[in-house]
Amino acid sequence: MPDVEAKYKAVRSMTQSLAATLSAEDQMVQSCPEASPIKWHQAHTTWFFETFILRPFLPDYRPFREDFHRLFNSYYISLGEEIPQKKLRASFSRPSLDEVLAFRDHVDHAMERLFASTIDGEVSRRIVLGLNHEQQHQELVLTDIKHAFFSNPIHPVYGSPDTPQTPPFSVPSLEWREFSGALVEIGRSPNFEDPFDFCFDNETPRHRVLLEPFEFANRKVTCREYLEFMADDGYIRSELWLSDGWDAVQESRWEAPLYWERDASEETGWRMFTLRGWQGISGLLDVPVCHVSFYEADAFARWRGCRLPTEAEWESVASQLPQHGNFLDTGRLHPSRVTESGVTQMFGDCWEWTSSPYTGYPGYKRPPGALGEYNGKFMVNQMILRGGSCVTPADHVRATYRNFFPPAMRWQFTGIRLAI
């Protein structure tokens, strides 16, 4: 069995390394309602261990600061009143970054004392949950700082500039793989005796789904293909859009994916802001299109005479494939071109919107207590995404993993897979 303590140290130090190049000022910015300051991510992930592990299970534990219990609660209503996001955003100069880092040290030292004692199965399961929670926030650190730097008029760069991929190669053409109808099983039924046999409660229980025959695209939709949709007036043809999607296009004046800006000096007329700075779209034509909403993915699919896959179709395909891809661990911080044949890019690069609404699986029950608030209460008005992205830690996702966001969200690394 993997060592819980070693895993704890690895995940905690990864968070700090992601924030290492960011100044205290960078870490207090919250540039859109759905993002959070990086300093808050560092504190909130630490709060999770203090609240759910150290307070209940380390007998002589002394909290770092009693008011942090309320300040860094995200949405656990059963633990007390939360801080309104607006107030947090406007006033997050204090506690200072130094104090937040001292909070992290305080909790890490207390966790060392906990690891030195005998840990039972429940404590181990909670620690592994806390580590998976922190990995979710690692992805948010990168998506939120990308939005913060994009929103800053001088457009700071997070990572060093990209080195061109050489030699040039072409991506496989968009092809279809046929799958026959079948009664398949999706979801997980983990072994609760093994804390590392981890999955979130929303992946349970494993259950049967009847699939009709379907065809599945061999790769994700590229920027080149998305430019064709834009050039064919995709953003101004209401017949392509769901009603709510069309409202979003009108209200937000969308005319391209998030982070795309017009650039007359570019062959395509567009450039894209990445974690490694601005890049011309002409150099990225064969990489997956990214930072599109569910509404845009759905409209693109309708324009192509296709549809988005259901999450059951997606999982039935993905569960047959090896789990490798362009995750955070590659260090690219951006989707990359596919080189393989067959069904590819199911994992990494960018999350794939599905046509499935986020609801509980048949027989799903929320866990008891505050941890039952982790997933279950969000099961309305959101769509399922699958597969992970270029800023997801590689050991965080799996074929059964269910991500979920409201259909208008674009600040995550979200892209398109087609089905028929």
Cβ 295 to Fe ion shortest distance, Å = 26
Taking the C-alpha atoms of residue 126 and residue 171, their distance in angstroms, rounded to an integer, is: 43
Residue count, binding to Fe ion (CB under 5 A)? 1
Cβ 73 to Fe ion shortest distance, Å = 9
Q: Residues 74-103: x/- map of binding to Fe ion (CB under 5 A)? A: x-----------------------------
Residue closer to Fe ion, measured from CB, 36 or 222: 36
Alpha helices (H) in 241-292, listed in sequence order: 243-252
Residue closer to Fe ion, measured from CB, 235 or 378: 378
Q: Residues 191-210: x/- map of binding to Fe ion (CB under 5 A)? A: --------------------
Structure token digits, residue 414: 């979200």
Q: Residues 360-389: x/- map of binding to Fe ion (CB under 5 A)? A: ------------------------------
CB 139 within 8 A of CB 392: yes
Q: Residues 328-357: x/- map of binding to Fe ion (CB under 5 A)? A: ------------------------------
Cβ 43 to Fe ion shortest distance, Å = 11
Please report which helix (H) or strand (E) contains residue 186, including its range: strand 182-186
Q: Within positions 150 to 189, which residues make up the interface with Fe ion, using CB under 5 A?
A: none
> E strands, 187-329, where?
207-211, 214-217, 260-262, 270-274, 277-280
User: Which SS3 state, helix, strand or coil, does residue 249 take?
Assistant: helix
Residue closer to Fe ion, measured from CB, 12 or 220: 12
Residue closer to Fe ion, measured from CB, 52 or 300: 52
Cβ 134 to Fe ion shortest distance, Å = 9
Taking the C-alpha atoms of residue 99 and residue 96, their distance in angstroms, rounded to an integer, is: 5
Cβ 106 to Fe ion shortest distance, Å = 19
Q: Residues 237-256: x/- map of binding to Fe ion (CB under 5 A)? A: --------------------
Judged by CB under 5 A, which stretch of 15-23, 68-76, 97-105, 270-278 contacts Fe ion?
Answer: 68-76
Q: Position of tokens 């965080």?
A: 396
* Position of minimal CB gap to Fe ion: 74
CB-CB neighbours of 32 under 10 Å: 16
132 makes contact with Fe ion (CB under 5 A): no
Judged by CB under 5 A, which stretch of 22-30, 72-80, 177-185, 402-410 contacts Fe ion?
Answer: 72-80
Q: Residue 12 phi/psi, 5° resolution? A: -65, -40
> What Å distances lie between residue 417 and 40, 315, 342, CA to CA?
33, 13, 14
CB 241 within 8 A of CB 276: no
Judged by CB under 5 A, which stretch of 54-62, 73-81, 294-302, 392-400 contacts Fe ion?
Answer: 73-81
Cβ 75 to Fe ion shortest distance, Å = 8
Residue closer to Fe ion, measured from CB, 74 or 151: 74
Taking the C-alpha atoms of residue 63 and residue 60, their distance in angstroms, rounded to an integer, is: 10
Residue closer to Fe ion, measured from CB, 74 or 282: 74
Cβ 41 to Fe ion shortest distance, Å = 8
Contacts of 191 (CB under 8 A, 6+ apart): 197
> What Å distances lie between residue 288 and 22, 33, 149, 249, CA to CA?
28, 26, 22, 21
The angle subtended at Cα 88 by Cα 87 and Cα 91, nearest 5°, is: 80
Q: Residue 354 phi/psi, 5° resolution? A: -110, 170
Residue closer to Fe ion, measured from CB, 52 or 64: 52
Residue closer to Fe ion, measured from CB, 74 or 382: 74
Contacts of 334 (CB under 8 A, 6+ apart): 162, 274, 275, 276, 287, 290, 390
Residue closer to Fe ion, measured from CB, 139 or 203: 139
Taking the C-alpha atoms of residue 213 and residue 195, their distance in angstroms, rounded to an integer, is: 37
Judged by CB under 5 A, which stretch of 66-74, 169-177, 215-223, 299-307 contacts Fe ion?
Answer: 66-74
Residue closer to Fe ion, measured from CB, 74 or 323: 74
Judged by CB under 5 A, which stretch of 7-15, 69-77, 194-202, 366-374 contacts Fe ion?
Answer: 69-77
- Which residues bind to Fe ion, rule: CB under 5 A? 74
